[in-house]
Amino acid sequence: MIADLQCVVLDCADPRQLAEFYRSLLGGTVDRPDRRWALGDGWATLHSPSGLVLAFQRVADYRPPQWPDPARPQQFHLDFGVEDLDRAQEAVLDAGATLLDGGSDGRSWRIYADPAGHPFCLVRH
């Protein structure tokens, strides 16, 4: 082993807004003091109850991915396991997500974009 994953960092226009969005999905604490990261206007963190840390950094002239457009690819995405897709969908849409692909073919996952345009999936356990 060479390293441990400490966090996943997402570029965005508004770090605090995106941290709060993911807090509404995962729970946890936004901008908890942590010696590994400096907090400020251009940076926010989310320490989730599971131990996962997401970080959000402000990027000037941020351009969100446009799924599934290869000219502006998703770059990466996050998968979140859920028990009930319909209930979870309602919650993420209420929190500010956008439905990208509702899985009308009956599959066990659906694709959304967070408020900054990053794709993520809800996957039924």
The residue-averaged pLDDT of 94-110 equals: 90
Residues of the chain with CATH 3.30.720: 8-58
Cα–Cα distance, 111 to 103 (Å, whole number) = 8
Contact 86, 94 (CB under 8 A): no
Sheet of 8-12, strand order: 8-12, 53-58, 43-47, 29-30
- Residue 5: predicted pLDDT: 78
pLDDT 10s digits, 4-54: 778 899 999 999 999 999 999 999 999 999 887 778 889 999 999 999 999
- Residue 4: predicted pLDDT: 76
- Give yes or no for residue 125 having a pLDDT over 90: no
Number of H helices, E strands in the chain: 2, 8
Domain 8-58 grouped into CATH 3.30.720:
yes
Cα–Cα distance, 66 to 80 (Å, whole number) = 20
Cis peptide before 33 (omega within 30 of 0): no
- Residue 72: predicted pLDDT: 86
Q: Contacts by 105-110 with C-beta closer than 8 Å and gap 24+?
A: 109/79, 109/85, 110/85
Contact 62, 13 (CB under 8 A): yes
- Give yes or no for residue 90 having a pLDDT over 90: yes
Superfamily of segment(s) 78-124: 2,3-Dihydroxybiphenyl 1,2-Dioxygenase, domain 1 (3.10.180.10)
- Give yes or no for residue 92 having a pLDDT over 90: yes
pLDDT 10s digits, 60-88: 999 999 888 888 887 778 889 999 999 99
- Residue 15: predicted pLDDT: 95
CA distances from 59 to 4, 20, 53 (A): 25, 18, 19
